[in-house]
Amino acid sequence: MTNWADKELWGWGRYPRVTARCARPERRREVEEALRDRGGEPVLAHGLGRSYGDAALVSGGRVLLTRRLDRLLEFDPETGWLRAEAGVSLEEVIRTFVPRGFFPPVVPGTQFVTLGGALACDIHGKNHHVDGTFADHVRRLELLTAKGEIVVCDADHEPELFWATVGGMGLTGVMLSMEVRLARIDNPYIEMESIRVENLDHFFDVSAESGGHTHTVSWIDCVARGPRMGRGIFMRGRHASSSAAPAGPGVGERLKAAAEPILDVPFDAPGWLLNNVTIRAFNEAYYRKQLKPRTNSVVHYEPFFFPLDFVRDWNRLYGPRGFLQYQLVVPPDPEHRAIRTVLEQITASGMGSFLAVIKEFGERVHGGLSFPAPGVTLALDFPNYGQPLFELLDRLDDVVAEAGGRVYLCKDARLKRAQFRRMYPAWEAWRAVRDAWDPDGVFQSELGRRLGLVPGSQP
Ligand SMILES: Cc1cc2nc3c(=O)[nH]c(=O)nc-3n(C[C@H](O)[C@H](O)[C@H](O)COP(=O)(O)OP(=O)(O)OC[C@H]3O[C@@H](n4cnc5c(N)ncnc54)[C@H](O)[C@@H]3O)c2cc1C
């Protein structure tokens, strides 16, 4: 018998919050059992809860917390192929395999995500323009489907189910395990260059000449207006060669993976802490920290890939109302009109974003509900200002959809269905595959219901 317990859950943005009956299966047999014991209610997998909005939430349903499905099953040091359970986190992969000279092929801005969450959101990293998304490095997965069968799927066997699960936001079944190919590294360091960019045109110039760097991203001051609009700090880099890594400690020591978070936010900050004034001051100070136009350094992978992981629970800084992240991608446009309009609308609204990053994606696309597409992606964090913010984001949706772009579902908590359908024209084909495997809508989420991705969603 499965042990179910009521639990309030939320995503990283801490908005919305939902109560569900949760179980923590430790073995695949217990996942199968929980699916049978669901009492006719809908089910959803939940990893480390790092999606921002309502993708990993389901009210009136059963949630399978997958973190204890955390076994590393098989590794081939010749090829880098790792077979692991879906609740293994990237942090665990890094801690285990960096000392052996391997690194995950694609990482997001935090290492506290599970393999299942990474594939269900088809995550991208700073190397998208070179290495594509996480799914580009996964060759096989095991999925527990609505009928209680375990289906092994890959490019040859049930490829439609495989690709519907990639970016499928947990709505095709529960992933039990997968095979992912780790990338070889010489040491845990990154050769990095930081460039101060003066405005949006400058950003695109630097981005265009950065193709030789495997990793690129730019922080952007989204409060700056006029000729300074789009100013920021462009960071580009690559895993360091052995000759570039700092001398000193022995190889074993240098390969040691770091570290626990060093700061903690033990309680919710007051709601006023992040307001227009503090956001403006932060953006100004961050821009000024890059004193020289260009600097070169060799840094450990942690501050390069996961700068925010040093502060545990930093999402509590946004106070009890939480925050929303808005991430968009728009197709290439020599005049960058959509990006300019989005930035203009944000500055005009007075609702600045505390953190904002911009990057040009590469060419690879996966269809279905997968987010990355050729063009420019911009990600912005907004304190939850309530209705005025929701209205602003609706206006940004118009700009993005009009430009042929889309917003990232794993960050979303409020996109409207009509806009979603404009942004993801492949949704119907995706839904047909999903429904064929789960006609009764066993797998559901708040996001799935809101966007009409599951049977029985309100019209
Ligand atoms: C600070 C920060 C930075 C980030 N940076 C990036 C970035 O650069 N690029 C990027 O792409 N994303 C980024 N993200 C988002 C993050 O990578 C994704 O939300 C990721 O999916 C989170 O994994 P998780 O284990 O927490 O999944 P959860 O949030 O728990 O779940 C996300 C989705 O995956 C599904 N899911 C989880 N496990 C399974 C499973 N076993 N089987 C089936 N479905 C499952 C859930 O149902 C849900 O729909 C960032 C998030 C944070 C907090």
pLDDT tens string 118-144: 999 999 999 999 999 999 999 999 999
Cβ 123 under 6 angstroms from ligand 1: yes
| 412, containing H or E segment | none
Is residue 250 over pLDDT 50?
A: no
Tokens of 180: 């992912």
Rounded Cα distance between 59 and 318, Å, is 24
286 pLDDT higher than 80: no
Q: Could you tell me the distance, in angstroms and rounded to a whole number, from the CA of residue 57 to the centre of ligand 1?
A: 12
Task: Assess whether pLDDT exceeds 80 at residue 260.
Answer: no
User: Which CATH number covers residue 322?
Assistant: 3.30.70.2520
Which parts of 103-262 fold into alpha helices (H)?
Answer: 115-120, 128-131, 159-165, 200-208, 251-254
Go through the chain and tell me how many residues it has: 459
Going from the Cα of 55 to the center of ligand 1, the distance in angstroms, rounded, reads 9
List 325's β-bridge partners, or say none. Answer: 381
Flag whether 242 is in a domain: yes
pLDDT of residue 268: 73
Question: What is the bridge-based pairing of β-strands 43-46 and 62-65?
Answer: parallel
Lowest mean pLDDT among 310-314, 372-376, 437-441: 310-314
Residue 320 inside a domain? The answer is yes
13 lines ligand 1 (CB under 6 A): no
Average pLDDT over residues 341-370: 93
> Is 84 a pocket residue for ligand 1 (Cβ < 6 Å)?
no
How many Å apart are CA 318 and CA 175, to the nearest integer?
Answer: 32
Q: What's the pLDDT at 285?
A: 74
The confidence score (pLDDT) of residue 294 equals 92
Give a yes or no: residue 43 inside a domain: no
Determine whether the shortest distance from the Cβ of 119 to ligand 1 is under 6 A: no
Quick count: other Cβ atoms within 10 Å of Cβ 315?
20
* 261: its two tokens: 């978070």
Q: How far is CA 278 from CA 196, 308, 436, in A?
A: 22, 18, 50
Ligand 1 proximity of 114 Cβ (cutoff 6 Å): yes
Ligand 1 lined by 124 (C-beta under 6 Å): yes
- Please tell me the total count of domains within the chain: 1
Which residue has a Cα nearest atom 13 of ligand 1?
Answer: 108
The pLDDT of residue 255 is above 60: no
Question: Residue 164: CB within 6 Å of ligand 1?
Answer: no
- 175 C-beta closer than 6 A to ligand 1: yes
Atom of ligand 1 nearest to the CA of 46: 30
From 112, 131, 231, 240, select the one nearest 181 (Cα to Cα). 131
- The secondary structure of residue 291, as a DSSP letter, is -
Pairing of strands 62-65, 72-75: unpaired
**317 within a domain of the structure (yes/no):** yes
Range of the domain at 275: 189-414
- What is the band of 224 on the pLDDT scale with cuts at 50, 70, 90? confident
- Closest ligand 1 atom, CA of 357? 8
Give the pTM.
0.95
Please state the rounded mean pLDDT for residues 179-204.
Answer: 96
Beta bridge mates, 264:
312
% of the chain beyond a pLDDT of 90: 81
The Cα 32–Cα 11 span in angstroms is 25
pLDDT for residue 203 = 97
How buried is 95 (Cβ within 10 angstroms: 0-12 exposed, 13-18 middle, 19+ buried)? middle
The yes-or-no verdict on residue 456 having pLDDT over 80 is yes
For residue 263, is it within any domain?
yes
The response to whether residue 116 sits with its C-beta less than 6 Å from ligand 1 reads yes
Average pLDDT estimate for 5-20: 97
Radius of gyration (C-alpha) of the chain in whole angstroms? 21
Query: What's the pLDDT score for residue 251?
Result: 44
The stretch 41-60 carries a mean pLDDT of 98
Distance CA 18, CA 402 (A): 33
Flag whether 321 is in a domain: yes
Q: What are the percentages of helix, strand and coil residues in the chain, rounded to 5?
A: 30, 25, 45
- The atom number, within ligand 1, closest to the CA of 134 reads 11
Say if 446 falls within a structural domain.
no
Ligand 1 near 69 CB (within 6 A): no
Determine the atom of ligand 1 nearest the C-alpha atom of 410: 19
Cα of 52 vs centre of ligand 1, distance in Å, is: 8
User: Is residue 284 very low, low, confident or very high in pLDDT (cuts 50, 70, 90)?
Assistant: confident
Give the mean pLDDT of 310-332: 91
The rounded mean pLDDT for the chain is 93
Task: Name the band, by pLDDT with cuts 50, 70 and 90, for residue 248.
Answer: low
Q: State the pLDDT at residue 91.
A: 97
With H, G, I as helix, E, B as strand and everything else as coil, classify residue 142: strand
The pLDDT value recorded for residue 353 is 83
CA dist., res. 152 & res. 141, Å (int): 6
Asked if residue 121 has its Cβ within 6 Å of ligand 1, the reply is yes
Q: How far is the CA of 117 from the centre of ligand 1 (A)?
A: 4
Per-residue CA distances from 330 to 49, 337, 428 (Å): 27, 10, 21
134-148, 349-363, 437-451, range with the lowest pLDDT: 349-363
- Measured from the CB, is residue 197 less than 6 Å from ligand 1? no
Q: Which residue in 433, 434, 430 sits closest to 443, CA to CA?
A: 434
Q: What pLDDT is attached to residue 339?
A: 97
Query: Tokens representing 231?
Result: 């100013």
Instruction: Identify the residue whose C-alpha is closest to ligand 1 atom 27.
Output: 117
Residue 163 in contact with residue 429, Cβ under 8 Å?
Answer: no
- The response to whether residue 426 sits with its C-beta less than 6 Å from ligand 1 reads no
Does residue 459 form part of some domain?
no
